[in-house]
A and B are shown apart, each in its own frame.
Chain A
Amino acid sequence: MAEGLCAEQVRLPATQGLILDPVLVVQAVVSGLLFGGVYSLMAIGLTLIFGVMRVVNFAHGDLMVWAMYLAWLGATRFGVDPYVGFVGAAAILFVAGFVIQRQLVDRIVDAPHEMQILLMLGVALVLENTALVAFGPEPQRVRTPLTQAAVWLGPVFVDVGRLVTFLVAIALTAALWLFLYRSDLGRQMRAVADNGYGAHVIGTDVRHVSAVAFAVGAACVGAAGALVAPLLPFQPPTGLQLSVTSFNIVIIGGMGSVLGAFVGGLIVSVAESLGAVFLNPSMKELVSFALLVVILLVRPAGIFGRRAI
C-alpha cells in the first residue's frame, strides 16, 4: 500500500451500474429544464454586457451575489418577497452598473484585453469581500412560500419555485428582446455592438449608450439575483462559481444573443442533470465544461451567436 495515501483505499462506487430507470431520466430532464430557467436568468445580463461592450465582466457573479444579499435583506428586514423586491434589486444594480462603467470601464476601453480582465477581477475582489464584511461568511437562503411547494405530474415532481423562475426567465428574455429590437435605445446598443466606430460616425453617443448597456445588463443581473435567491444557498465566495457557470452558458448559447443565453442555460442545465444521473453527480460539471470545449472548437460563436470571432 502506498505510503502517505489515506489508509482506507475504499472504492466509492461511481455509479451502481447504468441507471436505466426511465422515470429517473425523465425526472432529470424535467428538473434540468426548470433549473435551466435559473441559469438563463444568470446569463442574460452577462451576454448583454459582452455583446454590446465586448467587456468580459469577471465581476458578474459577485454582482449577482450582491443582488441576492439585497433580496435577502429585503425579505428578512422589510418582509418584502423577492418576487416583488427584484425590481428594487434591479434598480440598485442599474445604478451600480452605470457608475462602474462610467468611472472604471470607460477609462480602459482601448487598453489591452488583460487590463479589462484585471479591472473586473479587482472589482470582483472588492465586491466579494465587502459582502463578507457586511454579511458574514455563512451561507444564506431566502425562504418564501413558493419555494416550499411542489407539484406532481404522475411520478414526476415539479418544483414550483423553479417553475415560476423558469416562466420569469422567459418573460425577461422576451422583454429584453423587445427592448433590443424594438426600441430606439436598443437599436443604438446593437449598432454600437456591431460597429462602435460606425455608430459614432452617425452621431450615436457611444459613451452614453455603452454606459446604459452596462447598466441594463447589471439590472438584469440584479433581477436575476433576487429571483434566484430563494432557490440557491449563497455566500460571498459563490460569486466566482456563478461567474464561471455564466460564462459557460453564454459561450455555448452565443455571446451577445439574449435568446442564446436562454437556450444555453437550458442546455447546460439539462446536460448537468443527465450527467448527474449517468455519472457520479460530483462530476456533473464535467459535462458542461466538455460541452464548452466542443462549442469553442466547433462553433465558437455559439449556437445563436451571429459573428465568427
Chain B
Amino acid sequence: MLLALPLVLSSYLVTVFVLIFFYAYLGQAWNIVGGYAGQLSAGHAAFVGVGAYTAAVLSLSAGLTPWVGMFVGGALAAVLGAFIGFLGFRFGLRGFYFVLLTVAFAEMCRIVANNVEAIGGAVGLYITFTGNPRQFQFQDTRAYYYIALGLMIAATAVAAAIERRRFGVYLSAIREDEGAAEAVGVPTFRYKMLAMIVSSFLTGVGGTFYAFYLFSLQPNTVFGIPLSVEIIIRPIVGGAGTLFGPVVGSFILSPLAELTRLYFAAGGGWAGVHLIVYGVLLVVVVLFFPQGAVPWMKRALGRTRA
C-alpha cells in the first residue's frame, strides 16, 4: 500500500512521508545499539554528520557519485563509531556516562567542523541542485519517497535479521543485565562493538541522504544535539528494542510535529506553542506509556483477543 501512495498523494504529503521514513530509518539504525543493546547514545548526529560531509565533499571536490560516496561515508562513520565504542566499552562506561561520552564526541565533531576551512567551516557546504540521478538528485520528489522507504525497510530488515540470530539474543542479554551476561560467557565487548559499528554505518549512509535531500550542510544543524534528539525520540516513543518501534514512533511523532506546527504557528505571536505541545506529549508518553507504543499496543491487542 505504501508503494502506491505517491501516485495519489500531493507533493506536500509525499514530502511529509519522506521525512517520516527517513527519521524512522535513522531511528532504526540507532535502535540496534540503543534499543537492542541498551547502550543509550545521544550523539548519533555525529555519524549523520560524518556520512553527510564525506559524501558531500567527495562529490564536490572529486565528483564522486554519492551512490558510492554514501558507502564511504558510512564506512567512516563506522570507524568513528568503533572508536567511540572502543573507548566507552573498553573503559566500562555504562548508562549515563556512556551517554555523555557520545554527546561529547558529537559536540567535538561539531566544533571541529565549524572550524575547518576545507569543509566549509561554519558556512558549511552547498550542493547544486541538478536533478541528476547520477548525483543522487531527482527532479521528482517521489523518487526520494521510494528511496527513503527503501532505506527504512532495509534498516528494519537488518534489525530483524539481528533479532532472529544469536547476535540479537546476546544483545538482549547485555541489555537486561550485562554483568550476568558476562558471567554466563557472552562476549559482551565484541557484540556491543558490532552493534555500534552496524548502527553507525547505517546512520552514516543516512547522512548522505540528508545532504542530498536538503542541499546544504551546516555543522550546527547536522552535528547538533537537536538532531540527535530527533533520532532517539522516535524509537523511544515507539518502543526501544522492538522491531517496529522506530517506525511506529516516526509515524506518531512526525505527523504530530507537522500538525502542531500548522495549528499553532500561523500567528506570529504564538510562535513556539507547537513545541510546547510536543514537549507535553513527550511527558505524557513517558508517564503513561513508558515501554513505548509498540509494547503497549501489543498488550492492548492481547487483552482484546483474550
Residues of A within 8 A of B (CB): 2-6, 9, 11-12, 14, 56, 104, 107-108, 111-115, 117-119, 121-130, 132-133, 236, 240, 244, 247-248, 251, 280, 282-283, 285-286, 289-290, 292-293, 296-297, 300, 309
List 5 contacting pairs A-B, 8 Å CB cutoff, sorted by A.
A118-B282, A119-B287, A122-B281, A125-B275, A283-B111
Report yes or no: B91 in contact with A122, Cβ–Cβ below 8 A.
no
In angstroms, Cα B279 to Cα A244, docked, is 19
Report yes or no: B91 in contact with A297, Cβ–Cβ below 8 A.
yes
User: Among the listed stretches B4-12, B114-122, B154-162, B166-174, which one makes contact with chain A, having 4 or more residues with CB under 8 Å of it?
Assistant: B114-122
Interfacial residues of chain B within 46-99, with CB under 8 A of chain A in the complex: 60-61, 87, 91-97, 99
Report yes or no: B97 in contact with A119, Cβ–Cβ below 8 A.
no
- Enumerate the 3 nearest inter-chain pairs by beta-carbon distance, A residue then B residue, closest first: A125-B279, A122-B282, A126-B279
Report yes or no: B225 in contact with A124, Cβ–Cβ below 8 A.
no
B215: nearest chain-A partner, CB-CB: A4
Residues of A within 8 A of B16 (CB): none
In angstroms, Cα B281 to Cα A14, docked, is 45
Residue B101, interface by CB 8 Å? yes
Report yes or no: A286 in contact with B108, Cβ–Cβ below 8 A.
yes
Q: Shortest Cβ distance from B41 into chain A, in angstroms?
A: 11
In angstroms, Cα B276 to Cα A135, docked, is 14
Residues of A within 8 A of B269 (CB): 133
B122: nearest chain-A partner, CB-CB: A282
Residues of B within 8 A of A289 (CB): 104, 107-108, 111
Residues of A within 8 A of B282 (CB): 118-119, 121-122, 125
In angstroms, Cα B279 to Cα A107, docked, is 17
Report yes or no: B103 in contact with A119, Cβ–Cβ below 8 A.
no
Known: A111-B286, A117-B99, A300-B93. 17 other contacts (CB 8 A): A6-B123, A117-B40, A118-B236, A118-B282, A118-B286, A119-B282, A121-B233, A124-B279, A126-B280, A132-B271, A133-B269, A133-B272, A240-B226, A282-B122, A283-B112, A286-B108, A297-B87
Report yes or no: B279 in contact with A104, Cβ–Cβ below 8 A.
no
Residue B229, interface by CB 8 Å? yes
Beyond A3-B60, A309-B94, whether A292 also contacts B276 by CB under 8 A is no
Report yes or no: A309 in contact with B95, Cβ–Cβ below 8 A.
yes
Residue B126, interface by CB 8 Å? yes
In angstroms, Cα B286 to Cα A9, docked, is 49
In angstroms, Cα B286 to Cα A113, docked, is 11
Q: Shortest Cβ distance from A116 into chain B, in angstroms?
A: 8
Please give the number of chain B residues whose Cβ is less than 8 angstroms from any Cβ of chain A in the complex: 59
Residues of B within 8 A of A (CB): 34, 40, 42, 60-61, 87, 91-97, 99-101, 103-105, 107-108, 111-112, 114-115, 117, 120-123, 125-128, 225-226, 229, 232-233, 236-237, 240, 269-273, 275-276, 278-283, 285-287, 290
Report yes or no: A4 in contact with B95, Cβ–Cβ below 8 A.
no
Q: Shortest Cβ distance from B155 into chain A, in angstroms?
A: 19
In angstroms, Cα B120 to Cα A3, docked, is 12
Q: Shortest Cβ distance from A202 into chain B, in angstroms?
A: 27
A-B contact count (CB 8 A): 148
Residues of A within 8 A of B107 (CB): 244, 285, 289
Q: Shortest Cβ distance from A239 into chain B, in angstroms?
A: 11
Report yes or no: A285 in contact with B111, Cβ–Cβ below 8 A.
yes
Q: Shortest Cβ distance from A250 into chain B, in angstroms?
A: 10
Q: Shortest Cβ distance from A28 into chain B, in angstroms?
A: 19
In angstroms, Cα B109 to Cα A283, docked, is 11
In angstroms, Cα B100 to Cα A300, docked, is 11
Report yes or no: B104 in contact with A292, Cβ–Cβ below 8 A.
yes
Residues of B within 8 A of A297 (CB): 87, 91, 93
Report yes or no: A115 in contact with B290, Cβ–Cβ below 8 A.
yes
Report yes or no: B272 in contact with A129, Cβ–Cβ below 8 A.
yes
Select A2's contact among B40, B61, B285, beta carbons within 8 Å.
B61
Residues of A within 8 A of B91 (CB): 296-297, 300
Select B60's contact among A5, A122, A128, A309, beta carbons within 8 Å.
A5
Report yes or no: A251 in contact with B87, Cβ–Cβ below 8 A.
no
Kindly name the residue among B269, B273, B275, B281 whose own CB sees the greatest number of chain A CB atoms within 10 A.
Answer: B275
Report yes or no: A121 in contact with B229, Cβ–Cβ below 8 A.
yes
Q: Shortest Cβ distance from B236 into chain A, in angstroms?
A: 5
Select A290's contact among B108, B270, B278, beta carbons within 8 Å.
B108
B96: nearest chain-A partner, CB-CB: A56
B289: nearest chain-A partner, CB-CB: A115
Q: Shortest Cβ distance from B257 into chain A, in angstroms?
A: 11
In angstroms, Cα B282 to Cα A91, docked, is 27
Report yes or no: A113 in contact with B40, Cβ–Cβ below 8 A.
yes
Residues of A within 8 A of B275 (CB): 125, 128-129, 132
Q: Shortest Cβ distance from B49 into chain A, in angstroms?
A: 15
